[in-house]
């Protein structure tokens, strides 16, 4: 027994270090044959506004289970031969995906939502989530979410609030891209339902579309916007690979495309309605990691804010959880941008673009005025919530219109200070031509980031309701980004 004691101590240590890691997502590493994936499109302030003609509400889903079957076939000598194979049993019908305003669905779509595009999309998402739902512990889950957003904003439309408060139309030309009335439209949505290919082993499906209504892809993509997500996997082998493509145009120069793991209920990042998603357990700082494989094939140009990882949540300035009151709720984002062409907006001459302080992993805190110690090059930009009342000056506040409520954003860049968390340390790490599998201590890093809070209040619990990967092409015409994502997992440590 004395000889066994040191061995048991080592085993216990290994279990403590590695044995308590568990996945927070319903489909760990995207390995499950029976895929669950959905689509949502947002206007500038994360609503619908107006549906695209003949497209229905901009929510859709592709969810199925894999079923084994026996197939009778004739051989060359005309004798019967029985072979085994697979088939896909889909959970969502075409008519479900085509639901849109004016189309009743008793018990699903309420009277108040029937002719309201914003509310209809919310209730449609909940319905699609119920069709795709998988029972699990500690909570059921629904799907991965493809999220597409249009950055055009017509200030004369009165569609978007300012820091959560309704405002009348206003005229501010040049501040936001918009070609005129109708610039905030939703995209077309084409859906190739997942099918087994001819080899009987490869499963493949897709979403694609454009914001230019009536555009013909047969004539090429010149002059039009385009998005595409294709997913592919071999039955029983490996995991799903999600292949993304995003293209801007002169009319739609600011577009965003992400694959998200969202909360299975409650709010998700930037969304103030009840949602459905993949996170059966919500990750909380500092105790979670994210693993993923990313292959960036085209970067999207100098203005592509490509996020190796974007985490989103919501809490009030007094540290309390959000409760749906958009006048006091605040969306919080932290984003790691890996495009090496991203400018250094945070620098000693532009302190308003920097967080007030940086905290190193050992707990040492340095103020942004400490020019020798503050890691300016680790930050692209920081902006504070527009409804905060005790901000340290100088400060820049976040765009007041592009969320349903005020928001706070902290955008990071590759730098040695993030290396201890597994993040990129040099410009170009993980960029075009450098595909990598990442193991990111997101909980550890996010626990040390600065987020505003009112003085004297209890620190907020940093519980993250969205974890996503993708790009935001910011005001650039004819830019193209293309990337593959696989092995996506969120691990509670």
Q: What's the domain range around 474? A: 20-68+96-490
Residue 7: pLDDT band (50, 70, 90) is very low
Tokens standing for residue 305:
């804010």
- For the chain, how many structural domains are there in total? 1
Residue 10: pLDDT band (50, 70, 90) is very low
Residue 468: pLDDT band (50, 70, 90) is very high
pLDDT at position 71 is 44
The mean pLDDT value for 25-44 works out to 98
pLDDT tens digit string along 231-273?
A: 999 999 999 999 999 999 999 999 999 999 999 999 998 999 9
pLDDT tens digit string along 189-210?
A: 999 999 999 999 999 999 999 9
In a domain, 445, yes or no: yes
Residue 69: pLDDT band (50, 70, 90) is low
Q: Tell me: pLDDT of 336 over 80.
A: yes
**For residue 258, which of 269, 274, 273 has the smallest C-alpha distance?**
269
pLDDT tens digit string along 262-308?
A: 999 999 989 999 999 999 999 999 999 999 999 999 999 999 999 99
In a domain, 224, yes or no: yes
The mean pLDDT value for 162-181 works out to 92
User: 339-345: long-range contacts at Cβ-Cβ below 8 A with a sequence spacing of 24 or more?
Assistant: 339/299, 339/300, 339/302, 339/304, 339/305, 339/306, 339/431, 340/414, 340/427, 340/428, 340/431, 341/299, 341/301, 341/302, 342/305, 342/380, 342/413, 343/380, 344/376, 344/377, 344/380, 344/413, 345/380, 345/381
pLDDT tens digit string along 89-118?
A: 999 999 999 999 999 999 999 999 999 999
Least confident segment among 131-140, 215-224, 472-481: 215-224
pLDDT at position 174 is 77
Residue 82: pLDDT band (50, 70, 90) is very low
Q: What is the mean pLDDT of the chain?
A: 93
Higher confidence at residue 391 or residue 171?
391
pLDDT at position 428 is 97
In a domain, 73, yes or no: no
Q: Tell me: pLDDT of 229 over 70.
A: yes
In a domain, 10, yes or no: no
Asked if 487 and 30 count as a contact pair (C-beta separation under 8 A), the reply is: yes
Task: Give the other-Cβ count within 10 Å of 197's Cβ.
Answer: 11
In a domain, 74, yes or no: no
Q: Tell me: pLDDT of 78 over 50.
A: no
Residue 68: pLDDT band (50, 70, 90) is confident
Residue 143: pLDDT band (50, 70, 90) is very high
Share of the chain above pLDDT 70, in %: 93
pLDDT at position 98 is 98
Share of the chain above pLDDT 90, in %: 89
- What is the rounded CA–CA span in Å between residue 290 and residue 489? 6
The mean pLDDT value for 384-405 works out to 97
In a domain, 75, yes or no: no
In a domain, 82, yes or no: no
pLDDT at position 175 is 84
pLDDT at position 173 is 74
In a domain, 78, yes or no: no
Q: Tell me: pLDDT of 18 over 60.
A: no
């Amino acid at each position: 027994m004395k000889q066994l004691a040191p061995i048991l101590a080592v085993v216990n240590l290994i279990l403590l270090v590695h044995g308590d890691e568990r996945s927070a997502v319903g489909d760990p590493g995207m390995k499950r044959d029976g895929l669950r994936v959905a689509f949502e499109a947002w206007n500038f302030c994360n609503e619908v506004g107006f549906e695209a003609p003949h497209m229905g509400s901009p929510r859709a889903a592709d969810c199925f289970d894999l079923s084994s079957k026996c197939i009778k076939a004739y051989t060359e000598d005309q004798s019967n031969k029985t072979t085994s194979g697979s088939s896909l049993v889909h959970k969502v019908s075409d008519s479900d995906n085509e639901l849109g305003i004016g189309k009743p669905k008793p018990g699903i779509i309420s009277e108040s939502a029937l002719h309201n595009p914003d509310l209809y999309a919310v209730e449609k998402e909940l319905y699609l989530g119920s069709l795709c739902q998988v029972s699990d512990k500690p909570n059921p889950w629904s799907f991965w979410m493809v999220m597409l957003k249009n950055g055009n904003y017509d200030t004369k439309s009165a569609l978007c609030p300012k820091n959560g408060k309704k405002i009348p139309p206003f005229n501010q030309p040049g501040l936001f891209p918009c070609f005129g009335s109708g610039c905030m439209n939703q995209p077309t949505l084409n859906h190739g339902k997942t099918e087994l290919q001819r080899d009987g082993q490869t499963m493949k499906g897709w979403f694609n579309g454009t914001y230019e209504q009536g555009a013909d892809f047969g004539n090429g993509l010149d002059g039009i916007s385009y998005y595409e997500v294709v997913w592919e996997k071999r039955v029983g082998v490996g995991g799903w690979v999600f292949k993304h493509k995003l293209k801007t145009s002169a009319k739609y120069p600011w577009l965003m495309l992400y694959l998200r793991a969202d909360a299975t209920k409650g709010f998700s990042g930037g969304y103030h309605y009840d949602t459905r998603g993949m996170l059966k357990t919500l990750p909380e700082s500092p105790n979670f990691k994210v693993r993923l494989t990313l292959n960036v094939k085209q970067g999207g140009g100098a203005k592509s804010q490509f996020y190796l990882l974007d985490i989103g949540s919501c809490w009030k300035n007094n540290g309390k959880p959000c409760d749906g009151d958009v006048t006091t709720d605040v969306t919080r984002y932290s984003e790691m941008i890996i495009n090496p062409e991203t400018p250094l907006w945070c620098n000693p001459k532009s302190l308003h673009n920097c967080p007030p302080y940086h905290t190193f992993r050992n707990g040492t805190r340095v103020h942004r005025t400490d020019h020798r110690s503050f890691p300016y090059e680790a930050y692209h930009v920081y902006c504070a919530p527009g409804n905060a009342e005790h901000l340290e000056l100088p400060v820049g506040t976040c765009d007041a219109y592009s969320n349903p409520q005020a928001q706070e954003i902290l955008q990071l860049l590759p730098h040695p200070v993030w290396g201890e968390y597994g993040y990129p340390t040099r410009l170009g790490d993980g960029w075009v031509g450098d595909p990598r599998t990442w193991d990111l201590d997101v909980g550890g890093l996010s626990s040390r980031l600065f987020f505003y809070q009112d003085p004297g209040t209890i620190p907020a619990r940093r519980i993250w309701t969205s974890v996503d990967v993708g790009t935001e092409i910011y005001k650039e015409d004819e830019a193209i980004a293309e990337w593959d994502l696989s092995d996506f997992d969120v691990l509670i440590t």
